[in-house]
Amino acid sequence: MVPARPDIPRMTQSPAAAADLGPAFAFDNSYARLPERFFVRQPPAPAPAPRLLRVNAALAEDLGLDPAALASPAGAEVLAGARTPEGSEPLAMAYAGHQFGGWSPQLGDGRALLLGEVHGRDGRRWDVQLKGSGRTPFSRSGDGKAALGPVLREYIVSEAMHALGVPTTRALAAALTGETVLRERPLPGAVLTRVSRGHVRVGTFQFFFAREDVEALRALTDYCLARLHPEVEPGDKPAESLLNAVIAAQADLVAQWLSLGFVHGVMNTDNMSIAGETIDYGPCAFMEAYHPKTVFSSIDQFGRYAYENQGTIAQWNLARLAQALLPLLGETQEAAVELAQAAVDRFPVLHGARRLARFAPKLGIARPGEGDLALIDGFLEALQAGEADFTSAFRQLAALPDAVDLEAEAALGEGFADTAALDAWLPRWRARLAAQGLAEAARQAMQRAANPAFIPRNHRVEEAIAAAEEGDLGPFERLTQVLERPFDDQPEAQDLARPAQAHEAVRETFCGT
């Protein structure tokens, strides 16, 4: 049954006047040139006392922006939403989605505005978006604002993911608005300036499919192929080409998450990016003690988005994308369904291959084969049996020599509550290393490059947020700087590498709304 088709609400307020001063964005806004039913145009909400917290200077330069101009008072006004830069066409994007499996026919940017698009030095087009910039017609009962904590969490984790090599949205800046927002308690209001290859989601396609708007689906498909997957030759079947490209990208993306112990937390279809990036860091976290059923989100009571379910949920979401593309996939309904089903059914094979490719170097295996899956899963089972820290154990494994070394094994075993499963696994691992014949130094270097020493551990993120709410940005700055080099040992920052002690553990995270 196709859900009811409510009209997209419209705003009558005109965009704010372009600023005469401040950072210069060479905007070229392709999404704003799509049909008006794709979005709602409106300015950000006024910010009474903008104050910049951090500008990502390296990212700014990659985008062809001047970090000094962004850090100026006029730049702070732009990054807090108080000033609309020249060439900007602020808009809230329309989309729908399945949230925890339940259908919502109209969601959209309820607290974000796409300012526009710039061409980076890499030649690609990048979205520049304000998150926490005030109410839009899609806000429903929300105020459209963001508190400081969620803004800093997304800044820290998204930039850490980038440094870890994971496709992700990026954080260009964090700014205070000078307002107080009310959540469980009054909190400082803030805005994150987010950068992405594109903010189109699976839910964007669902929005138009639910409205039986085939023309919009066709325009959106062509747009996403040209902008987000330019390496794909659309041929005479652009919808099929796009579906296959998104499936391949998500197969690898989720494999990367799993290889780092990352739990997204809210894998709703409106949080799955057509660009293949990690998007919307709400109740996300990195596991410490390994357990496949790990859940962090305070609202995921049944473990739908647990660590071990992320591949299955990705396939479920991709099936929703395939459904939305049905009007474009075949001349008949039967042909379209058959093609869509075949494409979605390939996901487990693709994902399994990418999971193997991502985990093998973590164990020092240069040319993995199917038999190595059992070795990978064996180490994960040893981690679970020993209640060992996921990140630390993989990192310490790289320090072991090829030959038996009881002292080195004992050092690794110190992180395990029970080493029986680990002790049984290590001879299998050493036999596999011997079979591949790779020099020990090369094998260890491969492992160190695949296993970070530093991740944004939950308790350290929360410490940084708590300090910032009291006016101290020192822990945030230190954590952010260390996470820029996650694969380096950084002896002076070993306190940030250690797992949480029992009294420090943060086992529940919350959505930023």
Which residues have a catalytic role annotated?
270
Q: What is the DSSP letter of 453?
A: S
| Residue indicated by tokens 């998150």 | 131
CA–CA dist 148, 153 (Å, integer): 9
The letter for the amino acid at 228 is: L
| Residue indicated by tokens 């154990």 | 393
Among candidate residues 470, 468, 500, 496, the one with its CA nearest the CA of residue 481? 496
Number of helices (H), then strands (E), belonging to the chain: the values are: 18, 12
Joined together, the tokens standing for residue 80 give: 């807090």
Who contacts 503 (Cβ-Cβ below 8 Å, separation ≥6)?
Answer: none
What are the CA-CA distances from residue 243 to residues 167, 207, 283, 380, 383 (Å)?
A: 18, 17, 28, 32, 36
Residue ranges of alpha helices (H) inside 451-513 are 458-469, 474-483
Among candidate residues 63, 91, 79, the one with its CA nearest the CA of residue 22? 79
What are the DSSP calls for 300-363, one per residue? -TT-TT-GGGHHHHHHHHHHHHHHHTHHHH-SSHHHHHHHHHHHHHTHHHHHHHHHHHHHGGGG
CB atoms within 10 A of CB 46: 15
CA–CA dist 191, 177 (Å, integer): 7
Task: For strands 285-286 and 125-131, give the pairing.
Answer: unpaired
User: E strand or H helix at 187, and its extent?
Assistant: strand 186-196
**Phi first, then psi: what are they for 112, rounded to 5°?**
-140, 150
SS3 186: strand
| Residue indicated by tokens 């250690």 | 498
**Secondary structure (H, E, C), 73-109:** HHHHHHHHCCCECCCCCCEEECCCEEECCEEECCCCC
Return left, alpha or beta for 277; rule: phi > 0 is left, psi -120 to 50 is alpha, else beta.
beta
10 Å CB burial of residue 504 (0-12, 13-18, 19+) is middle
Joined together, the tokens standing for residue 366 give: 């240069």
Among candidate residues 88, 91, 90, 84, the one with its CA nearest the CA of residue 38? 91
